[in-house]
């Protein structure tokens, strides 16, 4: 009887372990919050349940997904590290991060030099604006315009004793890089922008290359698109050929921490491809803080 009882206990324990493993592989998983980066949404030491079906179940040891779903802006997402120390490491073996999705495929974000969202009004890099500069700088301006091959920029008028020309934001950026402070360009009736428009790549859509996104695109292509990409002399090369735009083969996302000081987000590892998504954080099942257990993740 004792032997039969022990055998029954072992079988029951084995069955429970099998059910837990299957549930973790195919239904949900648990994630421990390692830092203060997601406060006040999630606190260090908390444990959350992650729904692995929200974005389509990624089969174990594979990039194949069952079902469809895409992260929405504001959702807190669990994903594998897009830029591990050893690039050959299989996706499912990489460390996991948890961050808030703030950019979905096709979105435009205004990011500054530190790749932080500036919350400025969005604009197209090709949209025009009027700029003023001193009369004595016109000779230098004409030399630079010829060098950069910027055409159709004849004088449009005068204001406050200064010359006025029309430039797109892209042209203005190139001029600023070339002038290096030798000539001050003042935007007419508008505050100077602190950010640059970054378009989050979407599957099947072509993204233009600009000076402010060239390195991000290069890293994304070489890490996740399976192609050789380099930047030489401010020009993007893909498979050895210069390109001014690139059509991506999968969707990408921009992830951000709640706390700006925590850089374990897209500022550090770049765009997150759909193949690296694990699931949506849904429920807090353990917390060192009172009153938070079984709260929904917001």
83-135: pLDDT as tens digits? 998 988 999 899 999 999 999 999 999 998 889 888 777 878 888 888 999 99
Q: Give the chain's mean pLDDT.
A: 86
Q: How far apart are CA 260 and CA 272, in angstroms?
A: 18
pTM for the predicted model, two decimal places: 0.81
Residue 11: what pLDDT? 56
Domain ranges of the chain: 128-187
Q: Would you tell me how many other CB atoms lie within 10 Å of the CB of residue 166? A: 16
Q: Which of 146-150, 181-185, 228-232, 260-264 has the lowest mean pLDDT?
A: 260-264
Residue 154: what pLDDT? 73
Q: How confident is the model at residue 5 (pLDDT cuts 50, 70, 90)?
A: low
How open is the CA angle 40-35-279, to the nearest 5 degrees? 80
């Amino acid at each position: 009887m004792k032997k039969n009882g022990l055998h029954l206990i072992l079988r029951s324990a084995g069955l429970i372990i099998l059910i837990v493993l299957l549930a973790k592989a195919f239904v949900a998983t648990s994630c421990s919050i390692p830092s203060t980066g997601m406060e006040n949404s999630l606190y260090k030491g908390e444990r959350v349940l992650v729904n692995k079906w929200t974005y389509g179940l990624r089969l174990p040891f594979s990039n194949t997904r069952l079902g469809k779903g895409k992260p929405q802006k504001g959702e807190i997402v669990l994903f594998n590290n897009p830029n591990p120390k050893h690039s050959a490491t299989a996706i499912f073996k990489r460390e996991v991060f948890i961050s808030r999705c703030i950019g979905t495929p096709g979105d435009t974000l205004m990011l500054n030099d530190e790749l932080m969202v500036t919350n400025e009004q969005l604009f197209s890099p090709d949209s025009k604006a009027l700029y003023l500069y001193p009369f004595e700088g016109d000779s230098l301006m004409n030399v630079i315009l010829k060098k950069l091959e910027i055409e159709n920029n004849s004088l449009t008028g005068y204001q406050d004793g200064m010359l006025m020309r029309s430039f797109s934001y892209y042209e203005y950026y190139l001029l600023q890089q070339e002038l290096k402070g030798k000539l001050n360009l003042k935007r007419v009736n508008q505050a100077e922008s602190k950010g640059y428009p970054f378009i989050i790549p979407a599957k099947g859509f072509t993204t233009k290359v600009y000076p402010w996104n060239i390195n991000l695109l290069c890293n994304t292509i070489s890490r996740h698109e399976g192609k050789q990409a380099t930047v030489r002399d401010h020009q993007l090369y893909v498979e050895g050929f210069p390109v001014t735009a690139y059509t991506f083969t999968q969707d990408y996302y921009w992830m951000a921490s709640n706390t700006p000081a925590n850089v374990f987000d897209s500022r550090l590892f770049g765009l997150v491809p759909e193949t690296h998504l694990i699931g949506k954080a849904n429920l807090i099942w353990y917390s060192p803080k009172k009153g938070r257990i079984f709260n929904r993740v917001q």
